[in-house]
Chain A
Amino acid sequence: MKERILQIMREVLDDNSIDTSSNQQNCENWDSLHQLSLISELEDEFDVDIEPEEIAEMTSFEKVKDILSTKL
């Protein structure tokens, strides 16, 4: 799962340096518009629905992973 998330993040955010320490502060492309595309991709990839409150929380790789793992 970790690798699948990382792969989607690298693709959507167009940044190959993304790793488990990435977050909205240290990743320049990760703005609100990319967040939208990222969520849309993650929902499709893992076949889950992510709630708006959760979307607001998903500001780092770790938080993305935590929230997704509660759904699988």
Chain B
Amino acid sequence: MKYFIFRNQTIEPFWDNNQVSFSGYDDISLIPDDVESYIWFYQVPPGEDDVVAEEVKTFLDKLRLVLDKILASKQFIIFSLCSLSNVNIVGSRNTLMIAINEFNQAVLDLANNRGNVRFIDFSKFVNQYPHRELVNWKFYFISQTLLNPKLAKDFQYWWKQKEKELALKRKKCLVLDLDNTLWGGILGEDGVAGIKIGGDYPGKAFSYWQRSLLELKRTGVMLAICSKNNEADVIEAWENNPFMILRKDDFVAWRINWHDKASNIQELAAELNIGLDSMVFIDNNPTERELIRQLLPVVETPDFPDKPHQLMSFLEELVNSYFRVYSVTSEDLKKTEQYKANAQRVAAQARFTDFNEYLKSLDINLEIQALDEFNLQRVAQMTQKTNQFNLTTHRYTENDIQQMSNEGALIYAISVSDRFGDNGITGEIILRPLEKDTMLIDTLLLSCRILGKRIEFAFLDTIINLVANKGIKRLKASYHKTAKNSQVADFYDKAGFRITHRDDDSKDYELIIDKQRDKKDIYTITIK
């Protein structure tokens, strides 16, 4: 699998499902290692500003817990958070906006400090659309898809571009021509004062361009010159043209002569001790570019814009194509060792240092309800709809459920809430009587929305204690394999049941109830 995506909303329609697998909703308990890269793609859920802001603050704690558990050599791509649905009402306290900004700032810090972490500015995608197109409430209400699924194709295209950028190796050196490339006009003809740099357009465009190249230099890109000119003229221009921004000291090396540019570039590579494949050549003359493409194909030679006002968009392309710091280099890998140590410190400062503490902070309430007229419909409906956390995948109607109950089955639903909201009834168990003191777990299922908080074990343990009090000494259970439920293949093993029979598509289990199971102090459990 290429990507494993941590998410808190339904985002499947936006991804190529042959390439990705997904965490449960807001579920960080399972971190597979057989993937190439991880993606963190959380969205800001709709709701009251203050409440959502509190929830957003927990995202960072969770993200750090996850980062601590993965190998520092694996790429970890983090999407920035943007508010898709929340209305910023005039006069409100902006708590949510502040929380979102804090998250994004922290992620940028992580990306700057850890070689394997990449920051994806999701607002770049979102800002292409008017606000009302971002969320389609119908799809949110029926399937918890916040980002409008109509944007799925656009998103896939956008992500493909991002992937290309992520895969690029950063180039080291930008080799620049001078006349009509760094300034307008020809130095040999127009003279030091006549070339176009500074002042009004087009000189202004060349000034901005040079200033941006200077900024690029500050990020570690080497600038070099390869130009057909008289070296003395150029040095005079650097020294005496008051509008010149890039000057002699800004260039690591130059070849200003009348030799062919291919030889000059090879010399520059040798002098700087870098490979030709880490150079990008910028020249306004198509003949020169063609020469380099023919003779030195590993040198990147992008087309140059026709008009000076296009230089700024050209610069953006250059940066995106060649100078983003994305790929993990060997130096990054060395650095990641230090990051690991750092990470542990950061984690210690975070509000939770381990998963249990985090779970406790959620104030999770589990309410176990016996079957009644109010939950009957939901109980039947869940057997129809639940595919993933479903041990046997028996589908039942309301009549089936009622009849089982009449025949002595014990049927319980579980309702889950935490300090961020109430998920309602999200799981159930059906136990049918076999012999006097034995019951069969006919159905056990939970909605994927609540997974990742070990609620499944707390639920089962509570039920075991409950039936034990009713005199049950032995439970039987089974797992029936389907296309969708492999995640629960070992659930009963983990829950301490013993296998009595197995074949390719199913496993049967037994549990002798000899003692009450410990209650975890993580949850508040009530039985109705």
Contact = CB atoms under 8 A, between A and B. Distances in A.
Nearest to A32: B143
Nearest to B385: A32
A40 B143 contact: no
Interface in B1-36: 10, 12-13
A39 B12 CA distance: 14
Interface residues of B, number: 16
A55 B142 CA distance: 9
B143 A33 contact: yes
A37 B150 CA distance: 8
Interface string A28-43: 1001110011011001
Given A52-B138, A55-B142, A36 B149 contact: yes
A3 interface: no
Nearest to A55: B142
A40 B10 contact: no
A44 interface: yes
A69 B407 CA distance: 45
Contact of A40 (B149, B387, B484): B149
Interface string B97-125: 00000000000000000000000000000
B152 to A, nearest CB: 7
B139 A28 contact: no
A52 B141 contact: yes
Contact of A37 (B138, B141, B149, B387): B149
A40 B142 contact: no
Nearest to A43: B150
Interface in B123-175: 138-139, 141-143, 145, 149-150, 152
A36 B143 contact: yes
A60 to B, nearest CB: 15
Contacts of B150: 40, 43-44
Contacts of B145: 36
B483 interface: yes
Query: Which range holds the interface residue count of chain A?
Result: 10 to 19
Given A28-B483, A31-B387, A44-B150, A36 B141 contact: no
Nearest to B149: A40
Nearest to B13: A37
Nearest to A28: B483
B10 A33 contact: yes
A56 B385 CA distance: 11
Nearest to B484: A31
B12 A33 contact: yes
Interface in B448-504: 483-484
A25 to B, nearest CB: 10
Contact of B142 (A31, A37, A43, A52): A52
Interface in B355-389: 385, 387
Nearest to A33: B12
A56 B143 CA distance: 11
Given A36-B149, A37-B13, A56-B142, 11 more contacts: A32-B143, A33-B12, A36-B12, A36-B13, A36-B139, A37-B152, A40-B139, A40-B150, A43-B150, A52-B141, A55-B142
16 contacts: A31-B387, A33-B10, A33-B13, A36-B13, A36-B143, A37-B13, A37-B152, A39-B139, A40-B149, A40-B152, A43-B150, A51-B138, A52-B138, A52-B141, A55-B142, A56-B142
Closest 7 CB pairs of A and B: A40-B149, A33-B12, A37-B13, A52-B142, A36-B143, A40-B150, A36-B13
